[in-house]
Structure 1
């Protein structure tokens, strides 16, 4: 009796796994916006230190390498789900860093590869190696996934100032001695303008 049961469970797992794999969109085909919301592709789940990035050549999410080893942030784990706004590119010719626009989604941890609709509540502007690096700060559009109740920067700054300062401190210190300079915070309208500015043609 055990063999058929194991066989059935294995079959169910394989069917379930293949369904999940086939329904996951290719991040390169996902639009920056969907209806009234932005879309975010999550590379690094909240609560991990592994520097995971989407590899456009292999179309896989891979741990970034440093001297032949997985790159792990030598600091506190990421305070939110970190990734990028798809279909954006911060052109170096226009003052960008050559990557997609970064996003930090404040919610419980979600798996790498998750594509979620989000509401921007602000933008944190950093100076990293003499380049301006903008981080969109967002919450999930789905109320069931929200851990804070702030849909604009003013509410975020007033009700969750401690959270805002934690995010600021984290980005300022996670690279250690390299140091990242905080330039300023901007509101949700600025965040939306940044997405429009860096959308791919």
Structure 2
């Protein structure tokens, strides 16, 4: 292998490595088509580190609390946690200042992955006296689905135990915060919540 070829391969590997740590999701549309949205995965299912996307650094970092990495001292995340791109829950309108949160039920998905999803429900929480809603979704790609449902009614009928697990997990995963479960909404409420905070250019 020549010197030029080695240099070229090294450059490609360096570029790919950089892509994994530095990503820009600004301007990325929230939806693909009717009923199908995009999600950026921050925390893979089965993870205890509280990973977040830093939009200023354009990379994924571990959230800090009291100057230390925030590790969830509880069971790991029961799904792939992330956000809907091109959404912003405006604090002036009652939002929390972040993109809309989403929990994608399925096998573990790598941090930084962009996947298409189908919202099936919304979990309504009150976190430290502030509304904190979580969109619950499944992958749009059929072969990645472990729960075969496209709406809240079927989700409730097929997987009532999953709903209980999610309520318990979100209610108790962070001992430093007071979290109250306010109930659930169907897929239409989930979509309405996304559209409410969707940025339009």
TM-score, normalisation: structure 2:
0.89
Give, in whole Å, the separation in 2 of the partners of 1:9 and 1:81: 37
* More helix per residue: 1
Equivalent in the alignment of 2:31: 33
Query: Secondary structure of the residue that 2:184 maps to in structure 1?
Result: strand
Equivalent in the alignment of 1:15: 12
Equivalent in the alignment of 1:54: 53
Equivalent in the alignment of 1:150: 149
Cα distance change on mapping 1:189 and 1:12 into 2, 3 Å = same
Cα distance change on mapping 1:11 and 1:165 into 2, 3 Å = farther
The runs of 4+ residues in structure 1 deviating greater than 6 Å are 8-11
Q: CA RMSD in A?
A: 2.3
The answer (yes or no) to whether the contact 2:23–2:59 under 8 Å persists in 1 is no
Query: Secondary structure of the residue that 1:185 maps to in structure 2?
Result: strand
Give, in whole Å, the separation in 2 of the partners of 1:26 and 1:76: 30
Residue 161 of structure 1: CA displacement?
0.5
Query: Secondary structure of the residue that 2:72 maps to in structure 1?
Result: coil
Give, in whole Å, the separation in 2 of the partners of 1:91 and 1:29: 17
Give, in whole Å, the separation in 2 of the partners of 1:48 and 1:104: 13
Query: Secondary structure of the residue that 1:172 maps to in structure 2?
Result: helix
Deviations 1:157-180 (A, max 9, x none): 110010111011100001125331
Deviations 1:57-109 (A, max 9, x none): 11010001122221101110000000001111111111111111100000100
Gaps in structure 2 of 5+ consecutive residues:
none
Gaps in structure 1 of 5+ consecutive residues:
none
Residue 186 of structure 1: CA displacement?
0.1
Query: What are the residue-to-residue correspondences of 1:95-110 with 2, within 5 Å?
Result: 95-110=94-109
Equivalent in the alignment of 2:111: 112
Give aligned pairs, total. 196
1:174 aligns with 2:173: yes
